[in-house]
Amino acid sequence: MDQSFAIQDTLEKGDTCLVAVQGILVSPYTNESRLVGLVKNRETLAIFLYKHRRMAICADDVSLDEIIPLAEGVIIQQVMPAEGFYVIGTDVTLRIKSLDIDIVMQLPFGSHTQEFLRRVNQPIQEGLPAFPSQQFVWLRKYWQRNIPSVNSLFLNNMNYEEERQLSGLDINLVSDLEADKMAMNGQWIKANERVDPSRSPQMSVRHNKTTFTDLVRSADVLSANKAEMVPFTKFGLRDNLIKSELLKNEDTYISIQNYRFFVGTYNVNGQSPRESLQTWLSQDSEPPDLYCIGFQELDLSKEAFFFNDTPKEEEWFKAVSDGLHPEAKYAKIKLIRLVGIMLLLYVKKELAVHVSEVEAETVGTGIMGRMGNKGGVAIRFRFHNTHLCIVNSHLAAHVDEFERRNQDFREICSRMQFAQADPTLSPLTIHKHDVVLWLGDLNYRLKDIELEKVKKLIDSRDYKTLHKFDQLKQQIDGKAVFEGFTEGEIMFQPTYKYDPGTDEWDTSEKCRTPAWCDRVLWKGKHITQLEYRSHMALKTSDHKPVSSLFDIGVKVVNEELYKKTFEEIVRCLDKMENDCIPSAALSQREFHFKDVKYRQLQVQTFTIHNDGQVACQFEFIRKLDEESYSKPWLRANPSKGFLTPGSSMQIELEVFVNNQTAAALNAAEEKIEDILILHLDRGKDFFLSVTGNYLHSCFGSSIQMLCYMNGYMRDTSEETITQLAQMPLQMKDNFLGAEKPAKIPKELWMMVDHLYRNASQQEDLFQQPGLMSEFEAIRDCLDSGYPESLPGSNHSVVEALLLFLEALPEPVICYQSYQKCLESIGDYSSSKEVVSMLPLHHKNVFKYLISFLQEMLNNSEKNHLDIKILASIFGNLLLRPPPDLPKPSNSDKRRCQEFVQQFLQPEDP
């Protein structure tokens, strides 16, 4: 039934329950029933989960448990069973994930569920509204009323939103920055955003305003334009396999192509740009392909330090953009800044499409080890198929603090982490990149050398000697810092410290010793440094800018080769998958059962061998429109089983024709013919064909057919049998020409006459069971006429007689007379009347059997038979309820016996 009425009952005016489904909330501990409603208010939707106490009819039956607004970030996906397939008609399992909820629901298969999924899916397709936002304020009343504690988190947000509204601000303008602020306050954390709680709030704000006019195109265009990117697709385990295989085989489809990188670093001492940067950035004749430009001490003001806000960012960004090589057009890929440390990445316009997976992060190592006056910023990206990371750092100052600088380096390395597109993967660190370019004011000084000697060595351009006193060189040689990194030979004079506006060494009170503070180092393969230099022409700062020009060999994908490799991998995976399909071999597929006889078991065995690589489960399954996997006379043993790889099992096919199945086979309506389907779970189906011939038998044949049959069953042709089987029950005597039918079946006569002659004085007759082997001989004798007299003991003949009567497709007292017989009990004459109405041959058989039994009773002194015993045996053989009636009750059975008993009583004198 539709339970949405109950939900509607709980809703405020204006909110509508579109559809309701009763499902199961799956948790590791318990599974609880929930009523799931999809509730709509204007354009927004939310999923309401209700606890309920029964089939919900009104509001009293339900209590609101959870609300999930259908807002940006909500993911609803169907959970596949482990095998990766689902069976239609079974429950639909959904995983619903939102900002703070992650639940699994099982919904029943059916129209309500379908409707629910359709309704939910539609807005997801059309794009969901952001949350929190004004559009979802309507949910607040429910949260407050029903689940105040659970969702206080959301509630705060709603308050926040409402206040904004009251203060007249345009809610629609809530920007990413606002979202970041919320994250800072701990109110709301974006589902996919990783927040390092150890970071100081101010420092964690990622400043990624895109208000700048990009030179060519905005960075956003890049990530979306992935047409040319290698399509690493997300696709579960299989996809990860492909991915790792592709990585392993990278050499087969990539070639190394050189691209020119310009890497510059400049400590600007808090100044604004006053001179063109061209002498730094565009000194070379050829325009570089990429620019990585780092600044330190962009802004030394308190405002910048405390609020991370500075006008200098835009000033220097513009100065750099204006100073780029005039012979090429560049696109800004990314700008990242932490207080005064800023890093800019530009790429030639036409190469921008090859840049993807751009991420930027900052790490503060300044005051308290956290603040942004010192530290590093980094941009990681993928260029063609090479992953690069550019780091700009400003390490601790002062001559003696080299240990502190080493520590800053290590801090930056360990705390700089980039989120990956796939949130299930752990974040990337700096060292996990193919190429790392590290630039910045590393602040290492010249040590244990007097100022005069330094200046003298500089004047004589003996940088080699001077370099020996460089702390960075010493620290690297001692493996204390920048392990794995390389620095080119320094052929320029120290870049620090000058009197601003001049090329003169520091003349201030402190009179600092010159030092190579500003450096560029690299790590990775295929990197050639072409230039490493300082730029003396720039006089704005007390530092001189440094630049390094690199040719970096980048892994470029050959699309054709890539495709080939990719296809090869997919082919291998397909092969693996096909190899893992359960497989088995059968020793035999066709089975012929020769000369199947009534009540004689025939067995054939075959072997099923698991020749696959995985365990397999097999089962005989039923065919369309059939009730059982086989015909009723056929059985497989076992009919299902489990095989480990390499193991085998024997399966027996048993054919056994019993009373129920004999009639149709005797009448030639049915043949020994069947096809079995042996199904391997998650694998193929085998067809097993079963054939055979049935030896027709009097057992299970009708009285009438046997009376009309000339000769023995086994000698009679199929056509004759078919003809005889189609005879109507009540018929004229002249059927089949002149042939006179027998009065009773000769097979019956043979048995009864045998007993009459040999067994009337037999003790315990009708009480002792016969032997199966003897019965088979008797059956063969009756059906073939050989040997001439019945073999076996009297008890076995009795057994055959009883089986014969039991197997009659139409009992001696015909089905249609059954009810009348029961009704006539107590009135012997009317019982006789019923018998007289039976078809001729049935009447004959009845009378013949009764007189035989009476004869037996005459010898009761010897054979110890009495009326009661015989009536109890024959009552339920001669009278059987029609097959469409229920099985007879004990009282019905007793009445059948009473009926027969009437005829066995001595006639009234």
Residues binding other proteins (CB under 8 A): 75-78, 80, 83-89, 92, 114, 117-118, 121, 124-126, 224, 231, 233-236, 239, 570, 573-575, 577-578, 581, 589, 619, 621-624, 675, 677-679, 681-682, 684-687, 689
CB 334 within 8 A of CB 356: no
Cα–Cα dist 116/96, whole Å:
13
**Min CB(567)–other proteins separation in Å:** 8
Q: How far is the CB of 679 from other proteins (least distance, A)?
A: 5
Give the nearer residue to other proteins in terms of CB position, either 358 or 573: 573
H helices of 396-470, where? 402-415, 451-459, 463-467
Distance CA 53, CA 55 (A): 7
CB of 318 to other proteins, least distance (A): 31
* CA–CA dist 156, 140 (Å, integer): 10
Q: Specify the residue, 231 or 728, whose C-beta has the smaller distance to other proteins.
A: 231
Using CA atoms, how far apart are residues 702 and 574, in angstroms rounded to an integer? 60
Question: Which is nearer to other proteins, 73 or 369 (by Cβ)?
Answer: 73
In the complex, least distance from residue 853 CB atom to other proteins, rounded to whole angstroms: 49
Minimum CB distance to other proteins smaller for 85 or for 786? 85
Residue 380 Cα distances to 162, 339, 431, 432, angstroms = 38, 19, 11, 10
Nearer to other proteins, 223 or 784 (CB): 223
Complex with other proteins: residue 691 or 859, whichever CB lies closer: 691
- Closest distance of CB 24 from other proteins, Å: 17
Work out how close the CB of 516 gets to other proteins at its nearest, in angstroms, rounded to a whole number: 45
Least separation in angstroms between residue 67's CB and other proteins is 20
Pairing, β 417-418 against β 428-429: antiparallel
Task: Pick the closer one to other proteins by CB: 237 or 368.
Answer: 237
Q: Cβ neighbours of residue 506 under 8 Å, at least 6 residues apart?
A: 497, 498, 499, 512, 514, 542
Quote the distance between the C-alpha of residue 736 and its chain's center.
69
Minimum Å gap between C-beta 62 and other proteins is 26
Nearer residue to other proteins within complex by CB, 118 or 468: 118
With respect to other proteins, which residue has the nearer C-beta, 255 or 689? 689
Helix axis angle, 794-807 to 746-758, nearest 10°: 150
Considering the complex, what minimum distance in angstroms separates the CB of residue 655 from other proteins?
Answer: 19
User: How far is the C-alpha of 363 from the C-alpha of 416, rounded, in Å?
Assistant: 6
Could you count the other beta carbons within 10 Å of the beta carbon of residue 447?
A: 14
Residue 233 CB, shortest distance to other proteins, in Å, is 4
From CA 220, how far away is CA 122, in angstroms rounded? 27
Amino acid 272 reads S
Give the CA distances from residue 542 to residues 299, 782, 831, in Å, rounded to whole numbers and listed in that order.
14, 125, 132
Phi/psi for 29 (5° steps) reads: -95, -55
3-state secondary structure of 208: coil
The half-sphere exposure of 782 on its side-chain side, counting CA atoms within 13 A, is: 31
Quick one: which of 256, 258, 316, 265 has its CA closest to 286? 258
542: exposed, middle or buried (C-beta count within 10 Å: 0-12, 13-18, 19+)?
Answer: buried
Using the minimum distance from each CB to other proteins, give the nearer residue, 89 or 909. 89
Nearer to other proteins, 239 or 403 (CB): 239
Q: Rounded to the nearest whole angstrom, what is the least distance from the CB of residue 69 to other proteins in the complex?
A: 16
Which one, 638 or 769, has the nearer CB to other proteins? 638
CB of 408 to other proteins, least distance (A): 37
CA distance 646 to 582: 12
Nearer to other proteins, 87 or 738 (CB): 87
* CB-based contacts of 20, cutoff 8 Å, min separation 6: 2, 3, 4, 6, 7, 35, 36, 37, 38, 112, 116
Residue 271 CB, nearest approach to other proteins (Å) = 42
Q: Which two tokens stand for residue 556?
A: 């470029």
Nearer to other proteins, 623 or 743 (CB): 623
Query: Kind of pairing, strands 428-429 and 616-621?
Result: unpaired
Report the first-to-last Cα separation within the chain, whole angstroms: 73
Q: How many CB atoms lie within 10 A of CB 693?
A: 13
Distance of closest approach, residue 608 Cβ to other proteins, in angstroms: 13
Report the nearest approach of other proteins to the CB of residue 216 (Å).
22
Phi then psi for 759, rounded to 5 degrees? -125, 5
Least separation in angstroms between residue 101's CB and other proteins is 15
Determine which helix (DSSP H) or strand (DSSP E) holds 793, and give its type and residue range: none
Q: What would you report as the CA-atom Rg of the chain, rounded to the nearest whole angstrom?
A: 48
Which residue matches tokens 């009636």?
885
Burial (0-12, 13-18, 19+ Cβ within 10 Å), 539:
middle
Q: Which of residues 176 and 685 has its CB atom nearest to other proteins in the complex?
A: 685
Report how far residue 835's alpha carbon sits from residue 852's, in angstroms, rounded to the nearest whole number.
17
Q: Judged by CB, which is closer to other proteins: 623, or 820?
A: 623
Distance of closest approach, residue 538 Cβ to other proteins, in angstroms: 42
> Could you tell me if 682 and 83 are in contact, meaning their C-beta atoms sit under 8 angstroms apart?
yes
Rounded distance, CA 748 to CA 768, Å?
20
Other Cβ atoms closer than 10 A to 49: 22
* CB nearer other proteins, residue 577 or residue 827: 577
Calculated CA dihedral for residues 333, 337, 342, 344, nearest 10 degrees: 0
H-only helix segments in 208-249 = 219-224, 236-248
* Shortest Å, Cβ 219 to other proteins: 15
- Rounded CA gap, 169 and 615, in Å? 65
Nearer to other proteins, 557 or 812 (CB): 557
